[in-house]
Amino acid sequence: MRVVELALENLRSYADLTLPLAPGATALIGPNGGGKTNVLEAIHLLARGDSPRAREDRELVRWGATTARARADVLRAESERRIELLLFAPLEDERRPRRRLLLDGAGKRPEDAGGELVVVAFFPEDVELLGAAPPARRRFLDAMLGQVERAHRRESRELRRILEQRNALLRAAREDMTPPEAELAFWDRELVRLAASISLRRAALVAELAEPFREATARFSGASGLELRYAGQVGGDTVDERAAAYEQLLREKRDRERWQGTTLVGPHRDDLSVTSAGRPLPTFASRGEHRSAVLALKLAEAGWLTARTGETPVFLLDDVLSELDPARRDALARAIPRDAQALLTAAVVTSLPDELRERAAVLPVRMGEVG
Amino acid sequence: MPSALARPLARLIDELGKLPGVGPKTAQRLAYYILRAPGPDAEALAAAIRSVKTDLRYCSVCFNIAETDPCAICSSDERDAFVVCVVEEPLDVLAIERTGQYRGRYHVLHGAISPVNGVRPDDLKIPQLAERVKRGGIEELIFATNPNLEGEATAMYLAQLLGGSGARLTRLARGLPMGGDLEYADEVTVSRALEGRRAVS
Ligand SMILES: [Zn+2]
C-alpha cells in the first residue's frame, strides 16, 4: 500500500502543502527544523491517530491558526481511501472541540482511526523504547495490534475506562470495614474478560515476533541470542485459561489492592522484555545496541504487518541513518522491501547508503517548503 | 475593577453560564436575548423557572419528578403495580411513556453507578428500591439503565442485590445502540427493546 498524495493545511510548519508521493523510496533531505519530520509525523497521525512527538493536538496546529487539516489519499491492493483529519487548537475559554475524522468524506468517530493506512515508523524518540518504562512497550504492542485488529483498539479503550472506575472504587472503599464485593463484581468481571483477551493477543503477537526479531538482530548488530518475550502476569493458550488465571490472581491480590487503592491485576502490568542469555537488555546495552535492537524490532513489526494485512506497510524512517555506521546503513537499506513505499529523512544526501541513493526519489525540504 | 456591564445583566450572564453546555459566549447571547425580549416573555420564563422549584416534588414511591406525591403513575389504577421499570433519569420515563406500550410503573435511580464521579449505590435511589421490593407485590423488575459501562454496572449490581427477592429480573434488549442513551432513542427502538427484554441471572 502507499500514500499517493499528502495534503496539509496549518499543520506544524505547513500553511498549505500538497505533496504527491512516488511509489518506492523517497528521501526528504534538508536541514533540521526545516519541516521534513513534520511530513512523516502527519502520515503517522493519519495512519495511527497519534503523533510520536506531540502530546496535545494544539502542538500540531500551526502558530496563529485554530484548525489544522491533514489528508492522505491511500492506494491499497484492492481499494482507494481518502483519510482526512481535522485538529483544533481551542482558544482559552472555549470548550475543546473533538477531532474530526473523515473516511472517503464520511464522518467517523476519531477513535476509529487506524487500519486504513498501515505504517511502520522509526522516530528518534523510539531509540528509548527498550530502555524506557514498560508503558512505552505496551503502547508499541497495542499500536501494532490496533493497526490490524479493530477489536484490540476497542478493548484497549474499554480496559482504560474499567481501570479508571475500578481504581476510583478501590480508593473510595479504602476506609470501608469490608471489601465492597458487590460493587466490585461488575468491574472484576469486565477486567477479567478484557485482560484475558488483550493479554492473549499480545502474547501471541510477541511469540510470532520472536524469531524474525532474532534474525533481524543477527543481521543488524551481529548480536546473537537476543530473546523477545511477553512478560505477563498469567499464561494460557486460550481466553478461558487466562480468564481463570486472572480470576485466581484477583482473589489473591484482593487485600493488597484494597490496601493500595489501585488495580494490581491486568495487562496494564505486563511488559515486553528483551534479554540476552537471561540478562535484561537495558543493563548492559550501549546506545548503538539499543538503536540496532529497536530497528530489528521495527523490521520484525513490518514483516508481521505484511503477513497480517497481505500488503507491505509504508515505512517512515526519521533521521535513522545519521547515527548508523555504513555497514548498518546498508543492512537497513537491504531490509526495506523494494515494493515498499519508504519515506526517509536525512540532513544530507550523502548519508543515504548507495543502494538507496540509486532507487530513492530525492525531495529537498527547507523552511516549510518541499521540492 | 469597574465593569462595563450593568450589574443585573452581569448577574444574569453569570447564572446562565452555570447551566450545562452553556459557555460564556452563549450565556452572553442568551442574556441579551432575554433583555430585549417582550416583558411578558421574560416574565413567563422567570415564572417557569420559579415554578419547577416550588410546584414540583419527588414522588416518594418511584422518585420521579411530579406535581403530586405519589405521582400520577404510582396512584393510577390503570397501571400494573406488579411490573416496575428501573431507569436512570426522569427523562427516561418520558422516553418509555412515548412508546405507549408500557403499562407498568417506574423507579427512577437519579443516575448510574460511577466511582470515578463519586457515585456509589447508596448515592442513588437504590436502597429505596430494595425497600420497595422487600415490601412485596412486585413480580417483574425491568432494568432499563443505559447500555453503557455505568448503566451495565448498575444493572448488574441491582441483579445481585435483588436476585433473591422472588421478582423476575429482566434487562432491556440490545436494540439500543451501545453507548446511546435511552433518552435519545426513538420510540420504535425503545418499544423493541422493551418487547425483547431478557432475563438476567
Ligand atoms: Zn411515582
Where in the sequence of chain A do the CATH 1.20.1050.90 domains occur? Answer: 133-310
Mean pLDDT (whole number) for A284-312 = 89
Contact A92, A33 (CB under 8 A): no
Range of the domain at B115: 78-171
Euclidean distance between CA atoms A117 and A123, whole angstroms: 18
The predicted model scores a pTM of 0.85
Of A183, A189, A190, the CB nearest to B120: A183
Q: Do A166 and B160 touch (CB under 8 A)?
A: no
Q: Do A183 and B156 touch (CB under 8 A)?
A: no
Residue A165 is which amino acid?
Q
- For the domain made up of A133-310, give the CATH fold: Glutathione S-transferase Yfyf (Class Pi); Chain A, domain 2 (1.20.1050)
CATH number for B46? 1.10.8.420
Contact A130, A282 (CB under 8 A): yes
Contact B107, B63 (CB under 8 A): yes
Mean pLDDT (whole number) for A282-293 = 78
ipTM of this complex prediction, to 2 decimal places: 0.82
What residues of A are in contact with residue B126 (Cβ under 8 Å)? none
Kindly state whether residues B139 and B95 are assigned to the same domain.
yes
Output the average pLDDT for chain B: 89
Q: What are the residues facing B104 on neighbouring strands?
A: B80
What residues of A are in contact with residue B163 (Cβ under 8 Å)? none
Highest mean pLDDT among A216-220, A345-349, B50-54, B87-91: B87-91
CA–CA min distance A117, chain B (Å):
27
**Residue B143: exposed, middle, or buried by beta-carbon count in 10 A (0-12, 13-18, 19+)?**
buried
What's the total number of domains in chain B? 2
Kindly state whether residues B84 and B165 are assigned to the same domain.
yes
pLDDT band at B177 (very low <50, low <70, confident <90, very high): low
Where in the sequence of chain A do the CATH 3.40.50.300 domains occur? Answer: 1-118+313-371
Of B24, B116, B153, the CB nearest to A164: B116
Of B25, B115, B160, the CB nearest to A185: B160
Structure confidence by residue, pLDDT tens digits, B100-135: 889 999 999 999 999 999 999 999 999 999 999 999
Half-sphere exposure of A131 (CA within 13 A, CB side): 16
Kindly state whether residues B18 and B101 are assigned to the same domain.
no
Which has more pLDDT, A32 or A45?
A45
Structure confidence by residue, pLDDT tens digits, B148-158: 999 999 999 99
* pLDDT surpassing 60 at residue B188: yes
* pLDDT surpassing 80 at residue B187: no
Of B114, B149, B156, the CB nearest to A185: B156
Euclidean distance between CA atoms A103 and A83, whole angstroms: 5
Q: What are the residues facing A361 on neighbouring strands?
A: A26
Contact A239, A197 (CB under 8 A): yes
Structure confidence by residue, pLDDT tens digits, A81-102: 999 999 998 765 566 667 899 9
Kindly state whether residues B152 and B95 are assigned to the same domain.
yes
pLDDT band at A284 (very low <50, low <70, confident <90, very high): low
Other CB atoms within 10 Å distance of the CB of residue A330: 15
Q: Give domain status of residue B142, yes or no.
A: yes
Of A93, A162, A165, the CB nearest to B24: A93
DSSP state of A313: P
The reply to whether CATH 3.10.129.10 applies to domain A1-118+313-371 is no
Within chain B, strands assigned E span 57-58, 65-66, 80-87, 104-108, 140-143, 168-171, 198-199
Highest mean pLDDT among A107-111, A113-117, B26-30: B26-30
CATH number for B147? 3.40.1360.10
CA–CA min distance B157, chain A (Å):
6
A93, three cell numbers: 475559554
Q: Give domain status of residue B66, yes or no.
A: no
Mean pLDDT (whole number) for A28-43 = 91
Using the structure block, give the residue that is written with the C-alpha cell 484490540.
A152
* DSSP alpha helix (H) spans, A124-180: 134-148, 150-172
Kindly state whether residues B22 and B106 are assigned to the same domain.
no
Q: Does residue A179 belong to the interface with chain B, where contact is any CB pair within 8 Å?
A: no
Q: Do A172 and B120 touch (CB under 8 A)?
A: yes
Structure confidence by residue, pLDDT tens digits, A331-350: 888 889 999 999 999 998 88
What residues of A are in contact with residue B152 (Cβ under 8 Å)? 186
**Residue B16: exposed, middle, or buried by beta-carbon count in 10 A (0-12, 13-18, 19+)?**
middle
Q: Give domain status of residue B189, yes or no.
A: no
Q: Give domain status of residue B59, yes or no.
A: no
Kindly state whether residues B91 and B144 are assigned to the same domain.
yes
Euclidean distance between CA atoms B24 and A93, whole angstroms: 8
Q: Does residue A96 belong to the interface with chain B, where contact is any CB pair within 8 Å?
A: no
Contact A145, A31 (CB under 8 A): no
Kindly state whether residues B109 and B149 are assigned to the same domain.
yes
Euclidean distance between CA atoms A212 and A303, whole angstroms: 8
Q: Do B115 and A172 touch (CB under 8 A)?
A: yes
Between A244-258, B29-43, B161-175, the lowest mean confidence (pLDDT) is in B161-175
Structure confidence by residue, pLDDT tens digits, B60-83: 999 999 999 999 999 999 999 999
Q: What torsion, rounded to 10 degrees, do the Cα atoms A140, A144, A147, A150 define?
A: -90
Output the average pLDDT for chain A: 90
Kindly state whether residues B87 and B125 are assigned to the same domain.
yes
Residue B1, pLDDT score: 42
Tell me how far CA of residue A338 lies from CA of A312, A333, A355, B20, in angstroms: 10, 9, 11, 56
Q: Do A93 and B114 touch (CB under 8 A)?
A: no
Kindly state whether residues B34 and B117 are assigned to the same domain.
no
Other CB atoms within 10 Å distance of the CB of residue A116: 21
| Residues in B lying within 8 Å of A, measured between beta carbons | 23-25, 113-116, 118, 120-121, 149-150, 152-153, 156-157, 160-161
